Amino acid sequence: MWSPGTFLLLLLPTVLAFKPSDFKTCSQSGFCRRGRALAERSQELSSWHSPYSIEPPELSPHQPGFTTNVHSSVYPNVKFVLDVIIHEEGIVRVRMDEENGLRKRYNEATQWALIGEPLLSDDVLWTVDSKKAKAVYGSKKDMELVVDFNPLKITLFRGGVEQVVLNGRGLLHMEHFRTKEDSKLAEHIEGEGQSVLQVNSAAWFEGDTQDAFWDETFSTWTDTKPKGPESLSLDITFPNHAHVYGIPQHATNLSLPSTTGPTARYTDPFRLYNADVFEYLADSPTSLYGSIPLMHAHSATSTVAVFNAIASETWIDITHVEKGGVETHWISESGILDVFLLPGPTPADVFTQYAHLTGTAPLPAHWSLGYHQCRWNYVSSDDVRGVQDRFDEDDFPVDVFWLDIEYAEDHKYFMWNKKTFPDPVEMTKDVEAVERKMVIIVDPHLKRSNDYPVYKRASELEVLVKPKSGEGEYEGWCWPGSSSWIDFFHPGSWDFWISLFKTDTIDSQWSWTESTNNVGIWNDMNEPSVFNGPEITMPKDNIHYGGWEHRDVHNINGMLFANHTFQAAEARTDPPRRPFVLTRAFYAGSQRFGAMWTGDNLGTWEHMAVGIKMVLANGVGGMPFAGSDVGGFFGNPEPEMLVRWYVVGAFSPFFRAHAHIDTKRREPYLLEEPYKSLVRDILRLRYSMLPVWYTAFRETSESGVPILRPQYVMFPEDDAGFGIDDQFYVGSSGLLVKPVTEKGVKEVSVYIAEDQVYYDYFTNQPHRPKNRQITLPANLDQIPLLIRGGSIIPTRERPRRSSPLMKHDPFTLRIALDTSGNARGEVYLDDGETYGYGKGDVVWRGFGAESTKRKGKGIGAVRISSVDLAVRTQVGAYDPKNEFARSVGDVRVEKLVVLGLEKKPLSVGLEGGSELEWEFASKDGAGVLVIKDPAVRVVDDWAVVVKLE
């Protein structure tokens, strides 16, 4: 049936554009207004100090931390309690909650974000005097945590230097639960003549009116706020760091600009409130689809980070202060205070500390690093087959074809529109026949229809999100029209969700039999997006499992959807295989459940450029498997832009082209020459570099250090690089790329932080930086891609149709000697699908080039070798002759390319073996030695010796 609503929905994709009026500014959000007003009042009054103090804790010297009572001189009768704990690796956790309050504040964010309870430190020495408690810890005993009692202030020092200060500006404020009546009394007293500006009065502290305490109207929606005010304000200062990074997701610079003070770039604070923002702006602090409340602070001598584990809407003001340092002010709507200080001291340490809290991105299925072709929509099975044929006819490699929402009958996910997709399994198998995969969308909204078994069953199980009454089912509008949402906080939904993804009916009557175990899942609209809801999402007074309001859990909600989809996809087979899930909404910890993309970008140069910064910021936030829609979701990019965007995609961890339903088809085979061949070359380049990407994923899955590495991560001591976010290194491979994101560019300048030789990836030409810059030609057929001297890059250069077909292909090693004639690199391989790597089914090789130098005479010989890294690090029950290693036992290294030799070798041979065939060419002092077929296998130890004298 067509209702006016259906009509509106059909129009939505075309008529909706970013309307600032759809989303709140700080001044339209009651608690943000109150928080900012507090900061302003504190600045106006020089005598201002925090009203919070703590009782001196009782504590024995070696305890990891303490719990004590907090008093507020503003509210002497309200009880608060503070926990300060030092964990392993020197991570400090500070928690504050209201005690025996009228209600309970939400305290479960860490239950979803963390991988477990962090371990307590056993290496702390506390001393307490009448004014403060002080803990000294760390292997060098250079870490100090000082907790001042009155006013309450918490400072982390390293080597006597302040790193992070909590409540140093006195903006800590936890609004306590109260009844409307109690708060009226306060109003009444004020009405009787109390001065609004009286220091320490509640009125001074919380504002002289009850600003949006009990309800709040935005546009046509009223948030009823049955619990009243419960917001939370905290200032976090980094007095000795000039740059802060992180808090994705925002379309802004990697080094976060100020939102207050004379250098403010924006008037609003950065906002974290997962939101579906149509046609978002390319430079803005507004919320986008995901929220990770993790901020790095960085200087040439130190990196620290703060993880503020809060799930409610949060606004963050940032001020780069003139005397140095960065002040931040975090204002959240509800929840307890639960802040982790990560002590660094390097970016790599901070990444690992955060990974130990929230986990890392697991090693993804290898195919998911290939190229993904998506569009809203491939409209039928035959359309999918036709697109695949065209890719093959024109020799474009591709691993994955995607289906957007139109595959589903009336947008009832899991159910195929049989008119257009009469044979879904056959279609999927046709794609899988050439070792490709399909990814199919499953959104979180369920059409409220009795002919939709998924909705009906969820309704019977009573696992749907409830409206504010706490009774029945919340109803909102999304693609299918009238919809409800599974409450993934409800344990009763979990087995049901798993049962939906089974592909046989052996143990589930709900199985998705019209699917295969290889299918990846796309979780979209999980902020959640609700077309007729406030700010295009759910009302905050909706009720979730446990009686929590949506406001308490909003930013976690989308992560739970991806979490349960990941588990469901994994449970399809026994033993499990690595699932692929793409999510739009995310939170701290989402990295454990798959990839993300930056949502509905526009086909503009600005969006192309900011997409790189956003992917870098997501890496900082611990979520490295990220990318943006190649070509831009909205619009019809001109061929030049599309070619440049393919380069951006080829150097993103997640590489997918996608387009809105109203755009013209733009699959690469549709391009005219020369663009078509350029895109083919870019795709082939990505495929040739899959060993680099997969090896980088292995590293990040262990260490948490991101795949795309900005300058401050690579060169933490080089001040001049801290603001750079338009070039990056790929893992620790030594590849440095600067994608072109402007029209008509012919040349780019790449920033180099070190006095090292870098080689052009394509021409092998060595470059030494001049004034820290290397200038490279960057015409449309050129990619500014450098190999850092000292690196060895493994590639596979046979063009194939999809990545699994490369399994037996030989390797090329590009050996880029550094200024001392040395280099190192590695390659990691496994079956790419199972968890066999956990029990040692891997091949992990370390490559090295070592030069022997003769006094004053330059390099005498170079020894290039391959060693087993797995045996050194003992992966699982590793055996060099493991099943996987045997399966790739025939894989050769077919070519060694040595860059940086100054002169022609005298001989090249296998160590202890035969002479090899080689060629040496030298142009302008740049020597390139190509050793053809060194007759070695990738699984073996070997060495090749190049003699120059």
Positions in the binding site for ligand NOJ (CB under 6 A): 376, 404-405, 441, 524, 584, 599-600, 633, 658
Name which of 599 and 710 has its Cβ closer to ligand NOJ. 599
Q: Considering beta carbons, is residue 343 or 444 the nearer one to ligand NOJ?
A: 444
- How near is the Cβ of 30 to ligand NOJ at its closest, in Å? 29
Q: Of 594, 583, 617, nearest to 708 (Cα)?
A: 617
**Nearest residue to 250 via CA among 292, 296, 297, 284:** 284
Q: Which is nearer to ligand NOJ, 581 or 843 (CB)?
A: 581
Q: What is the closest distance, in whole angstroms, from the C-beta atom of residue 293 to ligand NOJ in the complex? A: 23
451 versus 662: smaller Cβ distance to ligand NOJ: 662
| Residue 387 Cβ vs ligand NOJ, minimum distance, rounded to whole Å | 16
Nearer to ligand NOJ (CB atom), residue 157 or residue 633? 633
Tell me how far the alpha carbon of residue 598 is from its chain's centroid: 10
Residue 645 Cβ, how far from ligand NOJ at the closest point, in Å?
16
Q: How many CB atoms lie within 10 A of CB 575?
A: 8
Quick one: 645 or 715, whose CB is closer to ligand NOJ? Answer: 645
Cβ of residue 596: shortest distance to ligand NOJ, in angstroms?
11
Catalytic residue selected from 549, 600, 725, 831: 600
The least distance separating ligand NOJ from the CB of residue 525, rounded to whole angstroms, comes to 6
CA dihedral 294, 299, 302, 303 (to 10 degrees): 10
**Using alpha carbons only, what angle is made at residue 172 by residues 171 and 178, rounded to the nearest 5 degrees?**
120
- How far CA 827 is from CA of 848, 863, 871, 910, in Å, comes to 12, 18, 14, 21
User: Alpha-carbon distance 167 to 305, whole Å?
Assistant: 16
Ordered DSSP codes for 388-434:
HHHHHHTT----EEEE-GGGBGGG-TTSB-TTT-S-HHHHHHHHHTT
φ and ψ of 874, to 5 deg: 50, 70
- Which residue minimizes CB distance to ligand NOJ? 376
Of 75 and 407, the one with the shorter C-beta distance to ligand NOJ is 407
Tokens at residue 588, please? Answer: 């701290």
Residues found in the chain: 949
Residue 332's nearest CA partner among 712, 35, 8, 754 is 35
Active site residue 781: no
3-state secondary structure of 52: strand
CB of 276 to ligand NOJ, least distance (A): 7
Q: How far apart are CA 663 and CA 448, in angstroms?
A: 30
SS3 content of the chain, % helix, strand, coil (to 5): 25, 30, 45
The Cα–Cα gap between 729 and 733 comes to 8
- Which of 230, 527, 830, 841 is labelled catalytic? 527
Nearest distance from residue 663's CB to ligand NOJ, in Å? Answer: 11
Active site residue 317: no
Paired strand residues for 812: 795, 895
**Known active-site residue 527:** yes
CB atoms within 10 A of CB 55: 13
Q: How far apart are CA 401 and CA 373, in angstroms?
A: 5
- The DSSP string of 779-825 is -TT---EEEETTEEEEE--S--SSGGGGTTPPEEEEEE--TTS-EEE
Residues 526, 558 contacting (CB under 8 angstroms): yes
Which of these is catalytic: 97, 333, 404, 524?
524
Closest approach, Cβ 100 to ligand NOJ, in A, equals 45
Q: Which is nearer to ligand NOJ, 235 or 404 (CB)?
A: 404
Query: How far is 135 from 122, CA to CA, in rounded Å?
Result: 12
> Shortest distance, CB of residue 621 to ligand NOJ, whole angstroms?
19
Give the torsion through C-alpha atoms of 811, 816, 821, 823, to 10 deg. -60
d(C-alpha 851, C-alpha 861), whole Å: 6
Return the number of the residue (276 or 894) whose C-beta is nearest ligand NOJ.
276
- CA 571 – CA 26 distance, rounded (Å): 43
Helix residue ranges per DSSP H, 290-380:
347-358
Nearer to ligand NOJ, 167 or 583 (CB): 583
**Shorter beta-carbon distance to ligand NOJ: residue 440 or 936:** 440
Strand 747-751 with 791-795, pairing: unpaired
Beta strands 221-223 and 337-342, pairing class: unpaired
Q: How far apart are alpha carbons 939 and 883 in whole angstroms?
A: 12
Taking the complex as a whole, how short is the minimal distance between the CB of residue 6 and ligand NOJ, in angstroms?
16
Residue closer to ligand NOJ by CB (options 446, 685) is: 446
Q: What is the distance of C-alpha 238 from the center of its chain?
A: 23
In the complex, the smallest distance separating the C-beta of residue 629 from ligand NOJ, rounded to whole angstroms, is 7
Active site residues: 524, 527, 600
